[in-house]
Amino acid sequence: MNNEFKKFVLIIFLLTFLISGCDNVTADPVSNNGIDIRSDKSISCLPDNSLILKVDCEYPWLPEKYDVKRRVSSIPCPEEFNRIPLKKDSFQYWLRHIPMKKDGTSVKLHNGKLKNNQDVHFSVLDIDTGKKNLQQCADAVMRLRAEYLYSQKKYDSISFDFVSGFKAMFSKWRKGNRIKIKKNKCTWSKSADSSNGYQIFMKYMTMVFSYANTHSLSKEMHKLKSINDMGIGDVFIKGGFPGHAVIVMDMAENKKGEKIFLLAQSYMPAQDIHILMSHFLINPWYRCEFSGNLLTPEWEFKKTDLKRF
């Protein structure tokens, strides 16, 4: 009888252990600011409806016929959260539907080597980095903004300031003007044929990457009055030498009005643009109602660092 009782106790213990183990798929509400989502970064993203329904967005750096397996919109929302509605032609909608590389893709540097820290990203955007050490943090933000405007044929809206204060406008560049730099002074010189071609656009962006950075980008962006005004496409940016910048890629909201957001970055040296994990490396979603500073895996921002194009 005693042996049977011991067996009964052992069975109860094992069942309790197994049940509690299943509960581990729910993240600790303290360690991830209360966001309830599976904590394993290797989990597959949700199937994307764009595989069935065509998304009205163009991504000029990709071939005309490319196989979209995942988009930013594939990243699952925590329970009880739904993505905020967006206008189809907006920068925000365009960011939400950028294609991502397959699950488990590593972040690579411009020279093809692996980034040392592979624990800070949830996924990698399907966009090239270039072979030069140029497309770093602010450059990635400018690249995404310029690519959207280019895809919309809003060529005259593509413009960025150099650190010197010189305004590099694609409206001049596409008409055959090129920027000459002599003794830290920039001037325009007509030296090429007019063209809106993508290769011409990327040569312009390479020039921008070379002479603009977080310092110049921070100065030309508009500071938001409150963190509650945050929207997709806004940027947390600390101008400096070095500084850093991360861009809000998507947002979701629950019935209580609580909002969460995704961030993307490049870093130094130039590397693949990637969706960041939260500071606690639990999942990619951040709460808008965070207290103190915004902690990301590789940088800390103040709430006043949030700016908009």
Q: What are phi and psi of 83, to 5 degrees?
A: -65, 145
**The two structure tokens encoding residue 179:** 């920027």
Identity of the residue numbered 202: M
pLDDT digits (tens, 9 = 90+) for 77-110: 999 999 999 999 999 999 999 999 999 999 999 9
pLDDT digits (tens, 9 = 90+) for 182-236: 988 999 999 999 999 999 999 999 999 999 999 999 999 999 999 999 999 999 9
pTM of the predicted model, to two decimals? 0.85
Distances (CA, A) of 299 to 64, 120, 196, 218, 241: 36, 11, 37, 16, 14
Contact 64, 51 (CB under 8 A): no
Lowest-pLDDT choice from 1-5, 150-154, 161-165 = 1-5
Instruction: State residue 35's pLDDT score.
Output: 53
Q: Assign 304 a pLDDT band (cuts: 50, 70, 90).
A: very high
Q: Assign 1 a pLDDT band (cuts: 50, 70, 90).
A: very low
Question: Distance between CA atoms of 109 and 277, rounded to whole angstroms?
Answer: 18
The greatest distance separating any two alpha carbons of the chain, rounded to the nearest whole angstrom, comes to 98
Q: Which comes out higher in pLDDT, residue 155 or 31?
A: 155
Instruction: State residue 32's pLDDT score.
Output: 36
Mean pLDDT score of the chain? 87
Lowest-pLDDT choice from 14-23, 231-240, 292-301 = 14-23
Q: Which of 28, 83, 108, 25 is nearest to 280 (CA)?
A: 28
How big is the CA angle at 309 (ends 248 and 99), to the nearest 5 degrees? Answer: 40
For the cut 80, the answer to whether the pLDDT of residue 41 exceeds it is no
| Placement of tokens 């730099």 in the chain | 181
Q: Assign 42 a pLDDT band (cuts: 50, 70, 90).
A: very low
**The two structure tokens encoding residue 204:** 């312009």
Q: Is the dihedral of CA 57, 59, 64, 69 positive or negative?
A: negative
Identity of the residue numbered 107: V
Domain range annotation of the chain: 49-131+218-308, 137-143+153-212
Count the Cβ atoms, other than its own, within 10 Å of residue 222: 9
For the cut 50, the answer to whether the pLDDT of residue 40 exceeds it is no
Q: Assign 63 a pLDDT band (cuts: 50, 70, 90).
A: confident
* Close Cβ partners of 91 (under 8 Å, ≥ 6 residues apart): 145, 148, 232, 233, 309
For the cut 70, the answer to whether the pLDDT of residue 29 exceeds it is no
Lowest-pLDDT choice from 48-52, 107-111, 269-273, 279-283 = 48-52
| Strand, helix or coil for residue 197 | coil
Classify burial at 193, counting beta carbons within 10 Å of its beta carbon; exposed 0-12, middle 13-18, buried 19 or more.
exposed
